[in-house]
Structure 1
Amino acid sequence: MKAARGSVVSKKGTPWGTIIAVVAIVALAASVIIYYMVQSAPKRAQADREAAAASFAPTASEPDPSKRIPGVVTATYTGSVHVLPTERVAYDKTPPFGGPHDQTWATCTGIVYPTAVRTENMVHALEHGAVWIAYNPQQITGDALNMLSVRAKGKPYTMLSPYPGLDKPISLQSWGHQLKVDDANDARIDEFIAALRSNPNGVYPEVGASCDAVPGQFDPDNPPPFNPAKPGPDAKPMDYKGSTAAQGEQGMPQSAPASAPASAPASAPTTK
């Protein structure tokens, strides 16, 4: 009997099924980890860039830290001047970063627009405290475009779009501020965003204004297209006072005073 039992034990084989299952689980776990590391790398790199730019966040003692950023150009513009969807503005800058604009703002809730959007709508979003990252689609593609996209996608008060004919690869706009750079790795991009996006210190006219889509007036999935043609003689000048039939904020008449929940308090500054 003892000999028989010994013979049965000695004939037990290696548990290959168990070994294969364990190896498969380990391989699957490793592939999941590798996939996560690869997919999350752009976001982790962006988190590092934002941490490096944190010292440019606005404070009461330094309301506009963008003044420390080399290359930033500023101008003073009057806010709340609206034109109709059929009208154009003869802007003084390319891309513009202030001046008369469409009565409806472009959605600026972390939107990455795949095609160029009507300029007059984009400028209105700047009035609400958004940062607009524009890029030359002939110069910015692939990894460089991905680096810009991760700065905008899902970030409140931020929008990214191509801008055909742009004289530099990348141009950042906030109301009254502009920075043009050559490289998506430029640290000044994140410094500009940290200093000016939703800055609460009156560097744009309508503090606290919405960046949400305006139902029935602006569809972020099908926005009004960019017009590359030079504005004609009927374009509104930079000192324009606003179209009579244009609506004000929240669809109010242009001449009506803003009130809650309008996009800006009456006491909000209108110039830098």
Structure 2
Amino acid sequence: MPSGSSDKGAKSAKAIKAASKKKPTKKGGVPGAGAKGRRQIPWLTIGAVVVVIALIGVLAANLYPKYQDRVEAQKFAPSESNQDPSTGIEGVVVKQYPAALHVSATQRVAYDESPPFGGPHDQVWANCMGTVYPDAIRTENAVHGLEHGAVWITYNPDDLSADQVSDLAAKVDGQQYTMMSPYPGLDHAVSLQSWGHQLKLDSPDDPRVDQFISALRLNRFQYPEVGASCSTTPETFDVDNPPPFDPTAPGADAVPMDGAGITPDATETGAGSGLPTDLQIPTGTPNP
């Protein structure tokens, strides 16, 4: 056999042997690494990211409307040029009442409104330092708190769910010069009172709740006793055991709204924004 043929045969044998030592190809005939080299999709990481994004979306959907409500409410803050921003809130009733007319703990007042928002009241005020009362309280004590610049939120316990009461209480709890209590027999779901002002609403979610509070809580132009305290002690007014609400109609001996027979308290007369204590009480007129 010629030497050339022998060399070609030897080379072919070496090529076949070398080829037999090569690593197998991937499925599909693509050369490369085995299963260990395959890229894994990080499904757990992707799932976690999706969950986080969804949570952010839910929080934004819930918090942004509340933020908008706060921004809108701040537009009703009082100023020298706009001393009663509540006149721009639809449904607010404004009346004028004489101040500093005190009754004793056993006397009733023949209030002209329910809940009342001005007129004669108990000489001791209800604690209004962001106090949420679980039970109805005596109206004569609550009205005195209004004279000190507080906003009193009342609600019909038969009209609101526990969650609605909790949401409403969040606007009061810890907020100085506010208080909240149920008011049995209330003709609306919610009613807000400040001295000489009232707003009745059918829903606690109404943005006018925040607007009313912004316009009238500690509005020095609208209540008689600017600088008066809303704090109490257990000896004067026990927050844990306050005088109870009396649902019965005042008797014939109830003190009239003009305070006939009562001498204005000299320590309070002339206090606050300068509102005279001998104002007559006109018919309340709601804003359009």
Of the three residues 118, 127, 145, the one matched with 1:98 is: 118
Of the three residues 194, 212, 232, the one matched with 1:213 is: 232
CA spacing shift, 1:213–1:43, aligned 2, 3 Å: farther
Tell me how many residue pairs correspond in the alignment.
223
Q: Is the 8 A contact 1:206 1:268 kept in 2?
A: no
Distance 2:125 2:165 in 1: 24
Listed one character per residue, the Cα deviations across residues 230-264 of structure 1 (whole Å, up to 9, x for unaligned) are 111111110114657xxxxxxxxx75445xxxx97
Partner of 2:90: 70
Q: Is the 8 A contact 2:224 2:272 kept in 1?
A: no
Q: Is the 8 A contact 1:130 1:157 kept in 2?
A: yes
Distance 1:145 1:206 in 2: 30
Of all paired residues, the percent bearing the same amino acid is 54
Instruction: Flag structure 2 segments of 5+ consecutive residues without an equivalent.
Output: 1-50, 280-288
Listed one character per residue, the Cα deviations across residues 133-180 of structure 1 (whole Å, up to 9, x for unaligned) are 000000012221122101110001100100000000000000000000
Displacement of 1:50 after TM fit? 2.3
Instruction: Flag structure 1 segments of 5+ consecutive residues without an equivalent.
Output: 1-29, 245-253
RMSD of aligned residue pairs (Cα, Å): 2.7
Distance 2:198 2:127 in 1: 20
Of the three residues 79, 83, 107, the one matched with 2:103 is: 83
Distance 2:190 2:101 in 1: 27
Instruction: Please tell me whether residue 182 in structure 1 is matched to residue 230 in structure 2.
Output: no
Q: Is the 8 A contact 2:138 2:243 kept in 1?
A: yes
Q: Is the 8 A contact 2:101 2:265 kept in 1?
A: no
> Superposed, which structure 2 residues align to 1:44-193 within 5 Å?
48-193=68-213
CA spacing shift, 1:90–1:125, aligned 2, 3 Å: same
Instruction: Please tell me whether residue 269 in structure 1 is matched to residue 286 in structure 2.
Output: no
The TM-score, its normalising length taken from structure 1, stands at 0.75
> Superposed, which structure 2 residues align to 1:25-36 within 5 Å?
none
The TM-score, its normalising length taken from structure 2, stands at 0.71
Distance 2:220 2:97 in 1: 17
Listed one character per residue, the Cα deviations across residues 19-71 of structure 1 (whole Å, up to 9, x for unaligned) are xxxxxxxxxxx9xxx9xx99xx9999755532221100001100000000000
> Superposed, which structure 2 residues align to 1:177-256 within 5 Å?
177-201=197-221, 203-241=222-260, 243=262, 255-256=265-266
Instruction: Look up the equivalent residue of 2:140 and give its one-letter code.
Output: E
Give the structure with higher Rg (CA): 2
Q: Is the 8 A contact 1:152 1:158 kept in 2?
A: yes
Partner of 1:12: none
Instruction: Look up the equivalent residue of 1:227 and give its one-letter code.
Output: D
Displacement of 1:200 after TM fit? 1.7
SS in 1 for 2:171: helix
CA spacing shift, 1:242–1:44, aligned 2, 3 Å: farther
Displacement of 1:97 after TM fit? 0.4
Distance 1:48 1:146 in 2: 20
Q: Is the 8 A contact 1:109 1:157 kept in 2?
A: yes
Displacement of 1:219 after TM fit? 0.6
Instruction: Look up the equivalent residue of 1:213 and give its one-letter code.
Output: T
